[in-house]
Amino acid sequence: MNRTLWIVFVALATLVVSGQLRAEGDGYLASLSDDSEDAPAAVGEAEKTLCGECYSSGNCRTGCRRGCQTDCRTDDCLTFVPMMIGADSPNVPRMAGRASLHQSMVRVADNRSPLPTDRVGVSYHMFHGAPLSGDLAPPDGTLHEFELLLEKQLFSGTMSVEFIVPFADTVSSTQNWTPVPTSVDKATELGNVGLNLKCLVWQRPNMAISGGLLVEAPTSDDLSIVTPGFTETLHTDTWYLTPYLATLITPTERLYFQAFASYRATTRSNDLATNGLTYMQIRDQDLLMADGGVGYWLYRDTCARWLTGLAPTVELHYTTTVTDGEGTSGALNPRADYLNLTAGATAVIRDRSTLGLACVVPLRTGESPLIGHTDRLFDWQLAVQFNLLW
């Protein structure tokens, strides 16, 4: 628990420092505002100076319905880029008796931007060849995961708060088995609801750095295996904390880079009980994640009627287990490294909506006598995401 407190402390310290940096920038503009008649013009010139090339080239958001007049504020200096598509993953399987539970895991890089944004969004991921259980044939199947989100800017766009609701067509939280199971029951399950606090730490016309903290609440159901006279239950009472840093770089009007670095910490162990009596504790593994992608605007016309932009992107997503699994999950979850490649494109519709489509493939392989793979959790993945910007 001491490690978790240190993580929270570092995240809060990052937000405090970022707030101080933003306050210094606001103070600079405020110093130009006085009672003289030239004050408004001075502020305008200061905004142009801060925006630099972005202001002069018209890279700030353009309101076409206002006659293609560029609306450039100091918070809008970076060229708008699509959300990172990501490579969503079913959580590392956990063993409860003879079944594993695929619980949706919220990744900070999936369908997100380093910049605070006003939007509502939905993402869909289809996993082919995902392991469903440790000892049943066939061990692999198809999973479908969905994520609904709402993000709202705060404090003039320097921060945002995001509410995330994941759910999936996955392994059912209740398995009704005979003493010799022959199949895995599937159902639509709610995952852990997330709350993401993001803060813009540093910004220049072609680069921005942000930090934040993602909190996942234990809203998913317990996993129960029911057999005649015997019920085994894995209680899911763990909160997960993920502090992260992110950056966005736009070296030219068309080329952009974005990256995330995060650490997902488990706050406590889960109880494993038989007929209501706890006999073991299972602790999920902490995860270190690094995500990076490059995109390029093949087409960009903010005054077009429908399609205002099209940008292909290539991304790499790396996840490594930092700690060993405990309890019966230790044998199922050895230390592993996951490296996924995402290739796709995002279309901008009427400068207010984005639609992304991508294919994700794992680049590493591994063998395990229980689940068949260690360094891959699926054979391939289809990712679709839609965002409506405010």
Sequence-ordered list of residues with C-beta below 8 angstroms from that of 253, at least 6 positions apart, any chain: 57, 59, 79, 297, 300
Residue found by looking up tokens 């609701």 in the block: 165
Predicted local confidence at residue 231, as pLDDT: 83
Q: Quote the DSSP letter at residue 65.
A: G
Predicted local confidence at residue 374, as pLDDT: 62
Given CA atoms 178, 179, 183, 187 in this order, what sign does their dihedral have?
positive
Structural tokens at position 367 = 């063998």
pLDDT by position in tens, the chain (length 390): 444 444 444 454 544 444 444 444 444 333 333 444 444 444 444 444 433 333 333 334 433 333 333 344 334 456 688 999 998 875 555 544 444 555 567 889 999 999 999 999 999 999 888 777 655 545 567 888 999 999 999 998 899 999 999 988 887 878 777 666 666 778 888 889 999 999 999 988 889 999 999 999 999 888 888 877 788 888 888 899 999 999 999 999 899 999 999 999 988 888 888 887 887 787 888 899 999 999 999 998 877 888 999 999 999 999 988 887 655 444 455 677 889 999 999 999 987 899 999 999 999 876 554 444 467 778 899 999 999 998
Count of helix runs (H) and strand runs (E) in the chain? 4, 23
Amino acid at 300: R
Predicted local confidence at residue 92, as pLDDT: 52
Question: Which phi and psi angles does 23 have, rounded to 5°?
Answer: -65, -40
Predicted local confidence at residue 228, as pLDDT: 79
Predicted local confidence at residue 247, as pLDDT: 96
Sequence-ordered list of residues with C-beta below 8 angstroms from that of 168, at least 6 positions apart, any chain: 90, 102, 104, 143, 144, 145, 146, 188, 189, 191
Cα–Cα distance list, 173 to 22, 124, 184, 212, 256 (Å): 46, 21, 11, 31, 42
DSSP 13-49: HHHHHHHHHHHHHHHHHHHH--SSTTHHHHHHHHHHH
The H or E element spanning position 57 is helix 53-57
Return the CATH number of 2-389, one of 3.30.70.1450, 2.40.160.40, 3.20.20.20, 2.60.40.10.
2.40.160.40
Question: Which phi and psi angles does 294 have, rounded to 5°?
Answer: -125, 140
pTM of the model: 0.77
Amino acid at 41: A
Predicted local confidence at residue 366, as pLDDT: 63
Q: Own/partner pairs for 357-361, CB < 8 Å, 24+ apart?
A: 357/383, 357/384, 358/85, 358/313, 358/382, 358/383, 359/383, 360/87, 360/317
Predicted local confidence at residue 236, as pLDDT: 83
Spatial distance between the Cα atoms of 104 and 165, rounded to a whole number of angstroms: 10
Spatial distance between the Cα atoms of 384 and 360, rounded to a whole number of angstroms: 11
Spatial distance between the Cα atoms of 145 and 171, rounded to a whole number of angstroms: 11
Residues in the chain: 390
Predicted local confidence at residue 305, as pLDDT: 84
What residue spans define the domains of the chain?
A: 2-389
Sequence-ordered list of residues with C-beta below 8 angstroms from that of 47, at least 6 positions apart, any chain: 29, 55, 72, 73, 74
